[in-house]
A and B are shown apart, each in its own frame.
Chain A
């Protein structure tokens, strides 16, 4: 019996025939061997093709075996399960591949020397040099952008969720949505036209337009702001109304309720949203290229003089045609990923420092 009767009357009708437990692993091995042998014998491809053929063979085999023994429904279930697992592995492959490539190629120069030296006076034939200037640039630009974005973004989200009514709130939400899709090069161009060419000449002694890390930070702010507003908005909406009412019922004013009850409750989610925005900002190259200009020397002042950043450094080194440049690009890319990882972990821990960890 492969399927139980529609109406079950006796306990002995509870039993159905099942594929033995050893069948799927044995089928897997058989399919793998068959796939490999087939591809080798016909000489039509390499390992990848034999894996694909093995998966197809396994699907056919498991479907046939299961249909014969367990019935159609369970056979379909096994096929679907196999397909879902294959899709999962397929989706994971590029991710693992990227991580592996990054680590294997970036490892050579991933060391304190690299982090402590700049590219100042490094010629095309020098193996030395490092990314210190770029790390400084990334930290300062992303840091300033975060300092500007977080209060503005969270305040905007608070307005939309707690105060905004009707047309204005809807209009703001709409434009925030539109801003989410702004390409980074457009944000960079806007800051170049508005800040660098129009504003900065009134603020320095020479009266000339000046690129700076701060300009890059402004461009990153434009990119981060919509992400922070939208994610904070979602998080604030998740805070139950019952908590707000509980606070109002104690005679607590609305702003204090928001500051002391609503925001702390939503904090972990808001931090996650901010970190996603920071990670995106750290990886942006176009604005830095346009408005910070790049710099081989260390410039710790974001308000004066050109600055580099890690992503810009990767872009720059990847273009240089010496054998010393690509390892620098890989190491800088790895440094950037590790930096973002550290920042994310730190932020998560900070958000959970609350003794009432959930």
Chain B
């Protein structure tokens, strides 16, 4: 089942620097939520706090609660690898593992987590590649290096890799910013398909993209450089882009600021 995510006053720090301050929002299951805002406003930081990827960086920590189906993922007894199996992630730049083939990349999550059965792995690889709309392009060269694909294909490979472990939530951190328009379109189509199964949160700088793919949109911003980012407005995408209730959102969307 796709999961509901509730952020409850999430505040995050890099060392002594406060990156986001008191973000509270509810993300509905089986929906696409877009996070938009100017650079450095903390939308990526917030995204990374949903699967505890934030704390990978030295000195980073979080305050507040982040509930997935009512469970606070920052509780002491939570296993961080389990969180990340539940909440998958796709990064800004495609990052296929360079020592692995296309096939090995797709099943990396399953295999590194101990699944050995060949038939299960093969099925999982095909299923994931099909859902990522990559199967037809790579089915004859699964043994070739993953890094040899084009940028757009690599990104879809990374999406396949992320959904091969069957997460319930998929986080995407500007997944199209390094891609050309055709690959972007392919990935946007993919996001719309994946919505039927997964809860998707996507950070994007491209407002047309947010408008195209998302159901709800959250606008983050900072008052001035060095201040923590805040969630300014969070509403249905249609409302955010047609009649936002906060002036700053409107300024940002119409290009007057940021």
Q: Which residues of A approach B to under 8 Å, CB–CB? A: 165, 240, 242-253, 256-257, 260-261, 264-265, 267, 354-356, 358
Q: State which of B24-32, B158-166, B204-212 sits at the interface with chain A.
A: B158-166
List the A side residues contacting B85 at CB < 8 Å: 250-251
Judge whether B112 and A245 touch: CB under 8 Å. no
Instruction: Tally inter-chain residue pairs, CB-CB below 8 A.
Output: 80
Interface set, chain B 73-90, CB cutoff 8 A to A = 81-86, 88-89
Most buried by A among B53, B81, B91: B81
The yes or no answer to B237 lying at the interface (CB within 8 A) is no
Judge whether B91 and A242 touch: CB under 8 Å. yes
Judge whether B95 and A251 touch: CB under 8 Å. no
Q: A245-B53, A249-B84 are in contact. Are A261 and B97 (CB under 8 A)?
A: yes
Give the distance in Å from the alpha carbon of A67 to the alpha carbon of B158 in the complex.
Answer: 59
Q: List 7 A-B contacts (CB under 8 A).
A: A165-B58, A242-B95, A249-B89, A250-B85, A251-B83, A251-B113, A253-B81
List the A side residues contacting B56 at CB < 8 Å: 244-245, 248
Judge whether B145 and A356 touch: CB under 8 Å. yes
The yes or no answer to B109 lying at the interface (CB within 8 A) is yes
Q: State which of B6-14, B60-68, B98-106 sits at the interface with chain A.
A: B98-106
How many chain B residues touch the partner (CB < 8 A)? 32
Judge whether B82 and A251 touch: CB under 8 Å. yes
List the A side residues contacting B41 at CB < 8 Å: none
A165's nearest neighbour on chain B, judged by CB, is: B58
Judge whether A245 and B95 touch: CB under 8 Å. yes
Q: Which residues of B approach A to under 8 Å, CB–CB? A: 51, 53, 56, 58, 81-86, 88-89, 91, 93, 95-101, 108-109, 112-113, 143, 145, 147, 158, 161-162, 165
Judge whether A250 and B161 touch: CB under 8 Å. yes
Q: Other CB < 8 Å A-B pairs besides A245-B53, A261-B97, 17 of them?
A: A242-B95, A245-B91, A246-B96, A246-B161, A247-B97, A247-B108, A248-B53, A248-B84, A250-B84, A250-B108, A251-B82, A251-B109, A251-B113, A256-B113, A264-B99, A265-B97, A354-B99
List the A side residues contacting B97 at CB < 8 Å: 243, 246-247, 261, 265
Give the distance in Å from the alpha carbon of A358 to the alpha carbon of B86 in the complex.
Answer: 34
One of A242, A248, A251, A256 near B93 (C-beta < 8 A) = A242
Report A183 CB to chain B, min CB distance, Å: 37
One of B83, B101, B112 near A247 (C-beta < 8 A) = B112
